[in-house]
Every structure is written in C-alpha cells, then in structure tokens.
Structure 1
C-alpha cells in the first residue's frame, strides 16, 4: 500500500502530467485541445497536486494519436533522472531492486494518486511489480497500463544502471495485431494481454543483485524527503472538482450513489446537495453530465449498448437510448456510424 498521508484521493503531483504534455507536444499534438483541463496553469509549482481527472482528460484527448506514434511507452523517451522528482532517486540509492520497489510503493503518492500503488511481490522466481490504477475501468486504461509498465522498467533500469530484461510483462488491453514496438520497448516478447492489472516480473538474479549506487544513509534522507513532500503539498482542487472526480470514479463501477460519494468527501448527503446548490448545480445535473461524458467514451469502444447501459448506471438499454436522443437527437447506431467528409 502506498503511503498517502493526508493527501486527498483524486490528486496527482505534476511530474507525470508534465512528461505526458512534453511527449504530446514533441509529437505535434494540439495543446489547445486541453484549454479546459483544470490545473495545468500550476504545472511549474512542485508543491501542488492537480486533479487526477485532469491527467485522465489529457489521455482521453491524445490517446488515439499517441497510440499511432508508439503507445503509452512514448513519453518515457523523454524521461531524464529527476523527471519524477524524489521518486526517481529512491531507486538509485536503494540496496536492491526489491528494496527500491518496496519503498517506491510506500511513497507512491509523491508521483501518483494516493489511491494507486506499485505493489511488489517477491518469490523464488523473482519480483513482480503490479500497478493498481484508480481508473482501471476506464476505456483508455490500456494505454495507461502501457505507460505504467514503461514507468516500472525505466525506474528499475535507472536503479540498476543498465537495461533489464524482464521475465514477463502483462497488459490489460487486447492484443493488437502488431506489437513488435512493445517487445522492443520492454525488452521481451513474453507479453501477456488481457490481464486484470499491468505488471512486470524481474528475475531473482536482477532483483537480489546489489545496486551500483546503493547508499543507505542517502536512501533514508530521500525517504524522509518523500514523506515531507507529501505532507506539505497542496491540492489545486476545488470542492466541486473533487466531487466531480468522485462521480466519475463511481461511474466506472456502475450507478453512482449520493450517500457513498458524500461519505468519500467526508460530508452528509444533505450537505453535498446544499453545496451543489450554492455552486448553481444539482446532483441530477452533475450525474447527467458525468454519464454523458462516460457514454461518449464507451460508444467509441466495441462494447454493446447493453454493456454501456450497465456501465453507466442505466436500468436498461432503452433508458440509455432515450438519453442519447435527448442529448444528440440520434441513437447509438447513428452516433457510431463513421462520419464521411462532405
């Protein structure tokens, strides 16, 4: 489990967001499409935490193009030591990779959402590091999984001072027709697709081998710095941002429940409704907007209308079809039909 301290769930430090933005810009992607993404004006402040939903929105806007250019591993071509702040140096100062990932997981909140983790499991065969992501049910999670695997491999190679050949890699998405670029990037052809979680397995020889720059004193200082960094960070996150993030997260598990979301925010349902009224909105309006965004995402996948209705909290496909006609004046078949240029 990662050590999240009092950092609110639904927030991330700026490091990964900056790396993703740099990769997108280097690939010629249009940053103007991100104009409404919350928190990007604070990216240069090392002490802030941005809405996790903002990072997901960037993936939503750029995922298709990034996949064409090399997938979720693309941003790691721009990585340099220190790109992820103190988290990077937890690897270079540790005694072994096993120790490095144990501490990196405990302090994962310095680099990602505090509800996420890089869980290391050590056995006779070696070390398997599994990424548990907040948005695992989101349609774009497969490319985030590719990113997370590259993150694990990059951190391990940085600590070892050399490229490492993993025994096995697992990814959550379906196997693409061609994935030679992933085999080349990950250094192995032993890649399993369709897994529940992304993971990397390193050999026992690699995980138990002393790291070349091990420094126990420095490692202790860095871990203390990681704790301080988390404790002193501040969220660039309004109450309404947090509420909307919780609604979006709940939608990945079915129909959101006001009582559950209120509990996640540390409030009563009546207080949540009152604060929404103060913001000029309502529970019903917010739920409708969140469902609409989620339905738009799922319509771009191969899921059936029945599955989409279930995943967005509608009682049956007819309710979803009525909502689509209300929003767009069209049904799912028309909306999914490829648009042709005039």
Structure 2
C-alpha cells in the first residue's frame, strides 16, 4: 500500500513558523539526521506532495524541542491558499461556501492522497450542515488536527466575519489542553467521537466570497481535473464501494441494490453493511453521494431534470431536487447556473 502523501505546503508552513520565531531549522540539533531531506523538500514546488511519515517525525521532534503542544494550530494561523495548491486557490476564488465545499470534496486528493484517505461527506441535518470523514488510526491525529485547523483558518480568511462554525468533532483523543482548541475554534470541540466533523449553519452555504473570480476558477478547475487524472488509481474499501456504485449507475441508469454491490465485491450483504458502519458510513450515504456526482455530470449534457431523475433511480424531478438540496444545500437551478 502506498504511503500517505501530504502537501509540501505543510513543510513550508512549518518552516514559516520557525522563521517567525527567529529559528533557523539548521540550528536545531535534534533535526540533524533529517536536514538534507528537509532542504530537498523545501526546494520542491509547494503544490507537490511528500510522505506523511517524514512530516510526522519532523513535527513531533519540533514540538518536543520547542515545548509547543499547540504547534499545529500555530502553524495553521499562517495558512495561505498556495499551501493547499490548486485546491486552495479554487476555494478562495469560489463564488460561495457551497461551491468551495464541492471543490474540496471533489479534489481532496490534490492535498492529501493515499489508499487510506476517504472523501469528505456532506449532509444536512435540520438547519445544520455536517462535513464528515471516518477515523482510520490514531497515528493520523496530528495530520487531522493540522488539516482541520488550516481549513478553518483559511475559510475565515475567505469569508471574514461571516462564516461561523457551530461545532468541531474529533475522532481521536485531545492532543493538548482543551483551552488551545477552544481559543482557536471559538466553538464547541469534542473528542473520541465516531467520526471527524465540521458543523455549520445551513445558511452558511449561501455566503458569498469577496475574492470570487469565475473565469479564473474555470481555468483552475481544468488544471485540477488534469492533475487528478494523472493520480495513480488505488482504492480503500470505501472507495471500492463508491466505485462499484458509480459504475452501476452509469451502466444501468438505475440505482443498485446493496445485494448487487456486495456480490460485485465478493462480500455478503451483512459484511458490506458492517464494513460501511465501521467506516462511519452507510450504503444509503454512498448511493446518494454517487447519485449527486452523476447528477452534476448529467446536468452538463443538457438533459431535462425528469430524464436525469429517471437515470438516477428517483421517482421524479421533485424527488431528485429534494435529494440534491439535502445533499449540498443548493438547488438544482443554482447548480445548473454555476455549470453554465
């Protein structure tokens, strides 16, 4: 299995923080065995990727040497769009929170990539939007904290004084005093939960960005699509299930039953249900996610909403519209306008 890859922008953030503290990493004796590799990574383009294990080692040593348990949050305060590469610029230039989140879910592999990575899932619960992904291993706690803090801080730069998070949910245990989390996020933060989550008001999806640039976004979108196409194909269990559902939708123009997908993956239905439950997901969530992706693809073909609903296994246009609104917080009319 290929090792998890993280953006070199994270190494640049680490170096920026040290420079801000008046520290040259060459003068940290604890990093002596790694200095040649660090120099190499810091010379690479900021939007390329390097092994997570190396970054984890460097961060742990730095954290201990500087006696700074909140290191990830201090680094996150320095985040800029370029640290997330093309995806960072796309999010910054998006027209709304909803559009930015769609790009984040679609192109997350350009930031963190690996067989153990599970795409973020978005769903609406009442007047709340939940962005979730499952817990994999405690060894990724520092990476999850770094990424969550960086995304929140960048989001507040794009939508200043508007975007408010209601809750932050961590699947791992607290890595530092609770005071640091509460001060940084300014909202409820809980730990040892079933999955990771950002929670915000559904009204937040319609917030507009002062940096929106549709023309530039379209150019960046094409660049991101090319970069994703060049990525190696490897799949986790959840990604295999998503792929099987997506393939069935395209081939049969109807929604698959869980029994059929289980058979395709050479699993019993009960085993498939258990694996999804362990990953913090369900067959219904996977099916709806892939239906929505296919819906966006079909909308670009100028099909009627009735035809699209039929191809995705919905009873009619109104059922499709309700499902998309619940999934993304947007209406199909808003999506069609964006695609045009």
TM-score class, shorter-chain normalisation, is: 0.5 to 0.7
Q: Is the 8 A contact 1:93 1:216 kept in 2?
A: yes
Alignment of 1:122 with 2:123, yes or no, is yes
Structure 1 residue 167: Cα displacement: 0.8
Return the alpha-carbon distance in structure 2 between the equivalents of residues 31 and 159 of structure 1. 35
| Bigger Cα displacement from structure 2, 220-229 vs 19-28 | 19-28
Aligned length: 224
* Cα distance between partner residues in 1 of 2:192 and 2:58: 24
Q: 1:175 to 1:107 in 2, by over 3 A?
A: closer
* TM-score (normalizing by structure 1): 0.55
Alignment of 1:130-169 (within 5 A): 130-131=132-133, 136-139=136-139, 141-162=140-161, 164-169=163-168
Task: Write out aligned runs for 1:1-342 (5 A).
Answer: 10-24=4-18, 26-27=20-21, 28=23, 31-37=28-34, 39-40=37-38, 41-46=40-45, 48-64=48-64, 68-115=68-115, 116-117=117-118, 119-123=120-124, 124-131=126-133, 136-139=136-139, 141-162=140-161, 164-175=163-174, 178-188=177-187, 190-229=188-227
Shift of 1:206: 1.2
- Which ranges in structure 1 are unaligned for 5 or more consecutive residues? 1-7, 235-342
Q: Please tell me whether the aligned partners of residues 170 and 198 of structure 1 are also in contact (alpha carbons under 8 angstroms).
A: yes
CA pair 13-80 structure 1, distance change in 2 beyond 3 A: closer
Secondary structure at 2:83 match in 1: coil
Q: CA deviation at 1:58?
A: 1.7
**Which ranges of 4 or more aligned residues in structure 1 deviate by more than 6 Å?**
none
1:281 alignment partner in structure 2: none
Secondary structure of 1:78's aligned partner: coil
Give the number of the structure whose residues are more often helix, by fraction.
2
Change beyond 3 A, Cα 1:111–1:31: farther
Q: What is the deviation of 1:201?
A: 0.9
CA deviations on 1:47-68 (whole Å, 9 max, x unpaired) are 6432222122223323445773
TM-score, normalization by structure 2: 0.56
2:77 and 2:153 in contact (8 A); partners too: no
